[in-house]
Amino acid sequence: MNSSFLKSNNKLLDIPENWQSLQLGNILKLDYGKPLPARERNPNGQYPVFGSGGQIGLHSKPLTKAPVIVVGRKGSIGSIFYSSKPCWSIDTTYYIDDFPYYLNPKYVYFFLKIIDLEKLNRAASIPGLGRDDVYAFGIPIPYPNNPIFSLDVQNRIVSRIESWLGELKGDHQLLDKIRRDTSRFREMKLEEIFENLPSARQPLMDVIESPPRNGWSPKCDDNPNGTPVLKLGAVLRFQYNPDEFKRTSLPTDPNAHYWLKPGDVLISRSNTIELVGHAAIYSGTPFPCIYPDLMMRIRVEQSKADSHFLVYWLQSKEVRHFIQSRASGASPTMKKINQGHVCNIPFPVISVEEQHQLVHYLDSIQSEVNEMLRTMQQDAKLLERLEQSILEKAFQGQL
């Protein structure tokens, strides 16, 4: 071995003697994608439209030639997609559709997947990928002084990579199916419980201390000594994430309504139609903590309702239909509910003791589901590491 190339995690990988590491910027060009709003796309078109997160639609004409590699530039930076047909690459992406005759485009695609481009974020607020950062990487080229033989070697490497990754694809699909089945199992258990409840309902207002209130969204500067303010992502899919917060240095009022207490129920009042109305219980971390204007806080009457039962109940088909049928807003991607909607959410007329018992049972189900999901997450990480190992060996000439 007499040469090497560097991944963005500073890991040096050796390459064979007759290979050479060539800077990407000297042999390829990342072109900027162009805007194509959803309203201007042709959903019946034959050309895929790519954003930084993958294919987002179709259009009647392409921007690129084929084959093409699309690279996430803003948002999901460093995401890599390959299309064997022309496509439209929108303005949150770069694209590569002009390749030297001695380079297999799929060889470049697999190389870009190994160098961890997502770690090259240079923007402070919105993730961004600079072209010069990508251009600085060296791609291992086998036998660069013999282009025809080099291309033949690349073709064989690509074929072997595809063969290995094709075997792993079935494992990924199986994991995805098990994950979906696990989620459906949980949903079925929830509905099984809720369908057997008495039919009598009361407005949620009857079991909470006072009408829900919106929080406060101060300007945040993320000063490490600032006051924590929850992000909207802290309450997502009916789970509380204590890591989703930012900080403000603005002065606060110790007597204001926007301070959280452990056990408070938080409900998102603005989000996509699928996510609006999601709720979770504030765990007490971070503390002290402010909740934002895009959330409402609910404090239940402990003698009338169990907070944990309320969060489970808000996931029921009955409540999701109630919320989604009332959510409104001019934006198709952002819907809102108000305090009146939340106050009138139908709540089962059952004793708090019955609620405690149901929570105990549902918690046991949730615990089983969480354990299965953790196991699947570990398996998925093992598959990812195996894929990376395959790619590393490929670009070290070991496949």
Q: What angle do CA 45, 51, 54 make, to 5 degrees?
A: 85
Read off the pLDDT of residues 257-313 as tens digits, 9 standing for 90 and up.
Answer: 999 999 999 999 988 888 899 999 999 999 999 999 999 999 999 999 999 999 999
For strand 19-23 and strand 31-32, is the pairing parallel, antiparallel, or unpaired?
A: unpaired
Q: Let me know: does 243 contact 217? Beta carbons within 8 Å.
A: no
Quote the CA–CA distance of 223 and 246 in Å, as a whole number: 9
Type and span of the H or E element at 175: helix 147-195
pLDDT interval class at 15 (50, 70, 90): confident
pLDDT interval class at 12 (50, 70, 90): low
Neighbouring residues of 93: CB distance < 8 A, sequence distance ≥ 6: 33, 50, 51, 52, 70, 71, 72, 73, 74
Quote the CA–CA distance of 32 and 172 in Å, as a whole number: 32
For strand 88-89 and strand 47-51, is the pairing parallel, antiparallel, or unpaired?
A: parallel
pTM: 0.65
DSSP 74: B
Confidence check: pLDDT of 371 > 60? yes
DSSP string, 94-158: EEE----TT--HHHHHHHHHHTTGGGG---SSS-B--HHHHHTSEEEEESTTSHHHHHHHHHHHH
pLDDT interval class at 1 (50, 70, 90): very low
**Which of 64-73, 125-134, 382-391 bottoms out in mean pLDDT, i.e. has the lowest?**
125-134
Q: Which residue has the higher pLDDT, 357 or 332?
A: 357
pLDDT interval class at 100 (50, 70, 90): very high
pLDDT in the model for residue 117: 78
Confidence check: pLDDT of 98 > 60? yes
Percent of the chain with pLDDT over 90: 66
Which candidate, 198, 200, 287, 186, places its Cα nearest to that of 238?
A: 186
Give the distance between the most distant pair of CA atoms in the chain.
81
Confidence check: pLDDT of 326 > 70? yes
Classify 71 as helix, strand or coil: strand
Neighbouring residues of 159: CB distance < 8 A, sequence distance ≥ 6: none
Read off the pLDDT of residues 144-174 as tens digits, 9 standing for 90 and up.
Answer: 999 999 999 999 999 999 998 888 888 888 8
Read off the pLDDT of residues 170-190 as tens digits, 9 standing for 90 and up.
Answer: 888 888 888 888 888 888 888
Please confirm whether the linkage preceding 35 is cis (ω < 30° from 0): no
Confidence check: pLDDT of 70 > 90? yes
